[in-house]
Amino acid sequence: MSAKLLALVSHSTANRSMISALRANRLSHLVYNHSRCLSTARRTHVNYEVKDGIAVVRFDSPNSRVNSLSREVMKDCEEVFNEISSSGAVGVVLISGKPECFIAGADISMLERAKSAQEIEDLSRSGHTFLNKLVSSPKPVVAAIMGSCLGGGLEVALASHYRIAVKDKKTNLGLPEVMIAVKDKKTNLGLPEVMLGLLPGGGGTQRLPQLISVPNSLDMMLTGKMIKADKARKMGLVDQIVNPLGPGLTSPEERTLEYLEEVAIFTAKQIASGKLKVSRQRPLTERLLRSAIGIQFIRDKIFDKARGQVMKMTSGLYPAPLKIIEVVKTGLEKGQPAGTEAEIKGFAELSQTTHSKALIGLFHGQTLCKKNKFGKPAKEPKTLAVLGAGLMGAGIAQEGVTPKELDKITRTWGFPVGAATLVDEVGIDVAAHVAEDLGRIFSERFAGANMEVLKEMVATGFTGRKGGKGFYIYEAGVKDRKVNDKALEILNKYHISPKHKCTLEEHQMRLGVRFVNEAALCLQEGILANPLEGDIGAVFGLGFPPFLGGPFRYVDTYGANKVVDWMKKFADDYGPQFKPCQLLIDHSNDTSKKFHKTN
């Protein structure tokens, strides 16, 4: 063992007798390394070897930068643990062969290939069966975490008996029971399923609130937040952290991974022998809160607050966060078996929603767009402007709709920022300049709004947030902004009476279909290389609702024929700016045409 390891243990929860035992064991351990007992069968993704009486299980999927939980990986796991359970090993260490990834989560393609909610439910139950074996194992299981430990990876760690994490920027953790993590800047822990429109389907909704506080658990699950190793230690998510090593005969990453393995083996031996008693005494305030949650009134207050925050942030447009709250509360109120059943059912149900399919599509798009096929730009961009629905909302604002009403129309359809607020943020002077140029170049495509509205706003000194006044009045420290009455006077001056009283859906579709049509024109004219890039640009660059997956996936889901029908109706009522492009018409005439392939 290295001096580093001895220093680590002397500053950890291990006592002096543990240090003496470690020193005495040094020679025998080095000799044993030359005669280690390897597993009898070589598997593709998961293998193990016995070192010093501890079965070291190594996740290392070939030809992949990450480890993920696929059917094949789970099959290997089952076989490995069946062998270990009947072997002479006294403990188990779970570790990765990849320094940058412990387990990144479930294999998304496995979920996509599933044809029904029942098939997803079966996958989840199978995962629960294996993880329950870890939990009930008489041999201590230590999760040694370096690199990404997210989603199903964190759930594997949560089902372990001890967790150690490396403190580095590439280490992320997800759902273990007792973990060990290496303390480096690569280590973060998180439950990112909510970002895919899902919930943790391997026990995370039940085991995480038992390990850390309920508010922290909800925060991790509802936001997909990743937690670094040192913070995870303070939260109680990991039991021990170690610092990474520097360069030596091998790379720092390789040395750190070897060091983490040594620490984990030693820790597993100490737990197995009874020399290390795992204690998770939490601060008094946290213990009092946990007791208070047993009172229904207080529990209801906590979950009502969480639900209110979700509704405020999402307008109820995303089902996964609300389902997470429901499932966690079920476990606390009715016990873990009932909570687990609710988790399995909820995971399967969410997997079949259009929201999840759209968000998974965006995940693939992000992966694709990380590959820069254009090379380094000849000129570095200096300024960027994001307008999106802002300019497209200008036509609606002339029909007697107030800025607050326009913001509500756009936000309840799923845009992250209301159209009036967006124009204020960008700058009304910028919006006026862009709108005038686009109107001159594209003529009827940008018709429907009187540009004199924006021009007079600018002439009056209403440039938006930066000037203190725009559609709203901006004052330091004031969150609930007032509508600028003088701006309303300008809007009323150019007021256009609507053809008929519009419903909320009509207002929203007037915004949505023009956005979609412009995206389709970009693909039709070869500006976009493919629909996926268009979806990514629209969502992350222009604020298109993420749960709709981008304009092209939205057309596939909603139906090109319906989009074209809306556009024809609006063209009759409001003018040629709603004329659908030929690509949309082609897809409307042939419903088998899709922008994205389906499984």
Q: For residues 528 and 537, what is the distance between their CA atoms, to the nearest angstrom?
A: 10
CA distances from 285 to 1, 8, 332, 464 (A): 39, 29, 19, 45
Query: pLDDT of the chain along its 599 residues, tens only?
Result: 444 443 343 344 443 444 444 444 443 444 344 334 444 568 999 999 999 999 999 999 999 999 999 999 999 999 999 999 999 999 999 999 999 999 999 999 999 999 999 999 999 999 999 999 999 999 999 999 999 999 999 999 999 999 999 998 877 765 422 223 334 445 555 555 668 899 999 999 999 999 999 999 998 998 888 899 999 999 999 999 999 999 888 999 999 999 999 999 999 999 999 999 998 999 999 999 999 999 999 999 999 999 999 999 888 999 999 999 999 999 999 999 999 999 999 999 999 999 999 999 988 888 777 777 777 777 776 655 444 444 455 556 688 789 999 999 999 999 988 999 999 999 999 999 988 888 888 888 877 778 889 999 999 999 999 999 999 999 998 888 999 999 999 999 988 887 788 899 999 999 999 999 999 999 999 999 999 999 999 998 888 999 999 999 999 999 999 999 999 999 999 899 999 999 999 999 998 999 998 75
Other Cβ atoms closer than 10 A to 6: 14
Q: Of the candidates 302, 184, 290, which has an alpha carbon nearest to the alpha carbon of residue 232?
A: 184
* 544-581 pLDDT per residue, tens: 999 999 999 999 999 999 999 999 999 999 899 999 99
Residue type, 230: D
Other Cβ atoms closer than 10 A to 308: 10
Neighbouring residues of 82: CB distance < 8 A, sequence distance ≥ 6? none
389-408+416-493 matches 504-589 in fold: yes
Q: Does domain 504-589 have CATH number 1.10.1040.50?
A: yes
Q: For residues 172 and 389, what is the distance between their CA atoms, to the nearest angstrom?
A: 36
Residue spans of alpha helices (H) in 482-559: 485-493, 504-524, 531-542, 551-558
pLDDT confidence of residue 57 = 98
Please report, for the chain, the start and end positions of each structural domain, with discontinuous segments joined by +: 3-273, 389-408+416-493, 504-589
Superfamily for domain range 3-273:
2-enoyl-CoA Hydratase; Chain A, domain 1 (3.90.226.10)
pLDDT confidence of residue 497 = 81
Per the DSSP assignment, residues forming a β-bridge with 143 are 94, 179
Longest dimension (CA), the chain: 90
What are the tokens at 411? 């936000």
pTM, whole model, 2 decimals? Answer: 0.85
pLDDT confidence of residue 523 = 97
Q: For residues 167 and 182, what is the distance between their CA atoms, to the nearest angstrom?
A: 5
Residue spans of alpha helices (H) in 400-444: 403-413, 419-426, 428-442
3-state secondary structure of 373: coil
CATH fold group of domain 389-408+416-493? N-(1-d-carboxylethyl)-l-norvaline Dehydrogenase; domain 2 (1.10.1040)
The dihedral through the CA atoms of 525, 526, 529, 530 has a sign that is: positive
Question: What is the torsion angle, in degrees rounded to the nearest 10, for the CA atoms of residue 341, residue 347, residue 348 and residue 350?
Answer: 140
Residue type, 280: R
pLDDT confidence of residue 36 = 43
3-state secondary structure of 576: helix
Q: Of the candidates 329, 319, 327, which has an alpha carbon nearest to the alpha carbon of residue 196?
A: 319
pLDDT confidence of residue 434 = 87
